[in-house]
Amino acid sequence: MRLRGKSPEVLSKKDPISQECLAACLYFMCLPFTVVTTPFGSLLKVVTLPIMAFLVLRILMGKSELTFHYVHFCYLIYIIYTISMLFVFHDSKAVTTTKDMVLGTLMFLLITARIYTNREREWIESAWLIVGLICIYACLSSTEVVSKSESRAVVRILGFEEDQNQFCAYLIMPTLISVKRFLERRRGYPVYLVIIALSFYSILKTGSRGGLLGILLGLFAYAAIGIKSVKTRLILFASAAALTLMIVTVVVPLLPENVAARYTIQAVEEDGGSGRTEIWRFLIDYSFREPGRLLRGSGIFSTYGIMKSAGFQNGVAHNAFIQILNDEGMIGLLLFIISIVSCLIRNMKREPLYACAYLSMLGFAISLTFYVFKPNLNIMMMCAMSFYGSLPQDRLHDTTKGASLYA
């Protein structure tokens, strides 16, 4: 499809949806099925490989117009450094994790290295709404709990149990897109309000404190930087504050007692964030013991053996930044932070909703490891995507078939 030089005004509902866009939509809609396993691997991987092959074929046939910008560059540098860490430590877990990260990076580049139309943006965002509906249905239909003493909902996708935190992270984009479309009074806009309400209820039902923190962070961020109208911004701020108050005073007390207790400050202080604070102190101290280790790290997922030998039951840091500091050192942590900052800088004014989604993801970073955490990569994909409506007009005319460079 040739759209070279078209201004946003020319891009209308008559513009065809490209095959690349349909492939991207299919990929995003399959995200909740990551946990579903088949004889050939996860269902997402089974879908991903043919999509990758198709997108490569489209490029080789000259059917795609490509772009490469600084988000791609920053993330690639980080991934290359991660690959180099195999020379430091390369057990089977490190090799498998690195291979999965490389596969994810290839998908990241293939989906984001082209320019989409405004209409295609709507399709991609609608695909994310379908992701949200799948997750909401999975949670609301669940009657299973973790244990008799812990009534957190167990979420299953086609019978396979999903991690509560990953489940909640999949709701970031659908929730923020619903907020945007509700404020824009799109056709059937009350439906988006229902999606927002059910998303929050689903998160609360799982007992995920990181999930609740992340979604609220994204909502307040969108009110601060995603809304141009002062009046609308104040309304959204007030609504977010009222929603937070309602969750604390009305919704949480209606949850099972042991789930509601997880959201109290007392519970966080008593269990140290499910034991995370003790893990963090140990790993930070371990990293700082040797200057060389602090600089270069101990190797991908070396944390597992280090923590096990120290008597911990868990083998991960439960914090993206501390995990990377221990595994990849200050160099890896700096490169990781630069890739995050590049996503935020690129989208603060261009696509503020996606910047807010990534800020929301950082709420999860304080309690999760991000190496193969699909929601992190997928929201980064949204931050790296290029749309005609948000590109400088003088740059549109520079786009040529094959590779073209602009920030």
Instruction: List, for residues 346-397, the tens digit of each pLDDT value.
Output: 998 888 999 999 999 988 888 777 777 888 899 999 999 998 765 554 344 4
- pLDDT at residue number 20: 93
By the 8 A CB rule, do 333 and 325 touch? yes
Judge whether 337 and 123 are in contact, CB under 8 Å. no
Task: Tell me, yes or no, whether 296 lies in a domain.
Answer: yes
Radius of gyration of the chain (CA): 21
**Distance between CA atoms of residues 340 and 224, nearest Å:** 19
Report the b/e string of 276-286 with b at 16+ CB within 10 A.
Answer: beebbebbeeb
Question: Which residues, 6 or more positions from 219, have their beta carbon under 8 angstroms from its beta carbon?
Answer: 175, 176, 179, 236, 240, 243, 360
Instruction: Tell me if 358 sits within 8 A of 394, measured CB to CB.
Output: no
Return the pLDDT at 10.
42
Residue 278 and residue 275: Cα distance in Å, rounded?
6
**Residue 267: predicted pLDDT:** 62
Domain count, the chain: 1
pLDDT given at position 403: 40
As a whole number of angstroms, the distance between CA 206 and CA 259 comes to 8
Number of residues that this document lists for the chain: 407
In a domain, 53, yes or no: yes
Q: Is residue 5 part of a domain?
A: no
Domain hosting 110: range is 19-390
Give the DSSP letter of residue 7.
Answer: -
Run of H or E residues at 150: strand 150-153
Q: The pTM is what?
A: 0.85
Angle value at C-alpha 319, between 315 and 324, nearest 5 degrees: 80
CA distance 96 to 354: 29
d(CA 243, CA 236): 10
In a domain, 133, yes or no: yes
Q: How far apart are CA 353 and CA 257, in angstroms?
A: 35
Q: Are 370 and 82 in contact (CB under 8 A)?
A: no
Q: What is the pLDDT of residues 173-183, one digit of tens each?
A: 999 999 999 88
What whole-number distance in Å separates Cα of residue 187 and Cα of residue 317? 44
> How would you class 198 by CB atoms within 10 Å of its CB: exposed for 0-12, middle for 13-18, buried for 19 or more?
buried
What pLDDT sits at residue 406? 35
Residue 10 lies in a domain: no
Residue 129 lies in a domain: yes
Residues of the chain with pLDDT under 70: 1-14, 145-151, 257-258, 260-274, 389-407
The answer to whether position 4 is within a domain reads no
Give whole-number Cα distances, 215 to 229, 291, 368, in Å. Answer: 22, 37, 15
399 within a domain of the structure (yes/no): no
CA 164, 165, 171 angle in degrees (round to 5)? 95
